[in-house]
Homo-oligomer: A and B are copies of this chain.
């Protein structure tokens, strides 16, 4: 059995207001092509399919069309679960119709205890859940009230869930698990690789690899880089694209998917890179370097997106900083100045704010935030607004 393992699509996500939908579509095309080339028996999407519980209309129609292309046009089975970003109940809509064409979707805990069976493999699909979901589920299962109340952490809950899964194990089959949690190599290790690892927040406390070792292979979602994989057989595929500057800053930043080959003898993993259409480039340079043609001519093309930090920058000497950089680099999705905070504080502290005229305050605020002076046109506008306000008084 051959599966393509991907996760954390986050359809509908934006980066500082810039839509990532085109980038996500471009990554999807490569994933679909790979699935066809490799003749996989299914595509695993290990949670965080959408970016939020109530996705925008664009996100809904985009996902619908991706799923149709995989499952209806190309007749490739889908094994999908919801992640912490998905609205589990909303995403559940239509699930039973999708089952007819081998689009398997689990979003609720009680759906996790019916493994999908092939001749030699059992696939367990466990969507993201929190301790409260587990309490509700085990209460419905008739568990003793006191025992239910003892489910406090995700570790408490996972222990019960896994024990119930082990009971369903067919002895002569391989056992696969698809799930969406933070899993570390051992209890005292914390992964510090992506923004998704604020590990103790919101019931997202980490689990440890040893908890899952009865499974032959675990396909994870939640952490956006495959380098966070806790072991050879418990793996994150990572997200197919970079979502933010933090992810773009990582040394090992290649994004992609895994092809997982399951044979009676062994299970092997093969990583396949997904190439960005619009890459996210992080630059941290001085103003002089950034404007130096010998530097910027070696940089990627204008069609990429740039996140730029200007080092040792005296903003009082420059105007239209963003405009100048966009002229050279194209789309600047993030612009920072080293020591920005210090400068700002210093300026405002120069004078008691009540001694400044209202238009001077607007001007200084604008400069602090954007690094640019107000243009003549902007100054005129600010002035006229204050004049109008004065008239109203």
Contact flags A63-97 to B (C-beta < 8 A → 1, else 0): 11000100010000000000000010110111011
A57 to B60, CA, bound (A): 15
**A118 CB-CB contact with B under 8 Å:** no
Are B97's CB and A60's CB within 8 A? no
How distant is the Cα of A72 from the Cα of B95 in the complex, in angstroms? 12
- CB-CB under 8 A from A103, the residues of chain B are 97
Decide if A98 touches B89 in the complex (CB within 8 Å): no
- In Å, the complex CA distance between A259 and B67 comes to 37
Task: Name the residue of chain B whose CB is nearest to the CB of A71.
Answer: B97
- Residues of B near A63 (CB, < 8 A) are 93
Dominant secondary structure of chain A at its interface with chain B: helix
Mark interface residues in A267-300 (1 if CB within 8 Å of B CB, else 0). Answer: 0000000000000000000000000000000000
Contact of A97 among B54, B57, B89, B97 (CB under 8 A): B97
Q: How far is the CA of A90 from the CA of B62 in the complex (A)?
A: 11
Chain B residues whose C-beta falls within 8 Å of the C-beta of A90 in the assembled complex: 57, 60
A61 in the interface, Cβ–Cβ < 8 Å?
yes
Query: Is A100 located at the chain interface by the 8 A CB criterion?
Result: yes
Copies held by the complex? 2
Classify chain A's interface size. 20 to 34
Residue from A96, A98, A100 whose CB has the most chain B CB atoms within 10 Å? A96
Any chain B CB within 8 A of the CB of A101? yes
| A72 contacts B96, C-beta separation under 8 Å | yes
Given A64-B92, A92-B64, decide whether A72 and B57 contact each other with a Cβ distance below 8 A.
no
A89 to B89, CA, bound (A): 19
A6-54: which have CB < 8 Å to B? 54
Contacting residues, chain B, for A97 (C-beta < 8 A): 72, 94, 97-98, 100-101, 103
- Chain A positions within 8 Å of B, measured between CB atoms, are 54, 57, 60-61, 63-64, 68, 72, 87, 89-90, 92-94, 96-98, 100-101, 103
A–B complex contacts, Cβ < 8 Å, 29 sampled: A54-B54, A57-B87, A57-B89, A57-B90, A60-B89, A60-B90, A60-B93, A61-B89, A61-B92, A61-B93, A63-B93, A64-B92, A64-B93, A64-B94, A68-B96, A72-B96, A72-B97, A93-B93, A93-B94, A94-B94, A94-B97, A94-B98, A97-B97, A97-B98, A97-B100, A97-B101, A97-B103, A100-B100, A100-B101
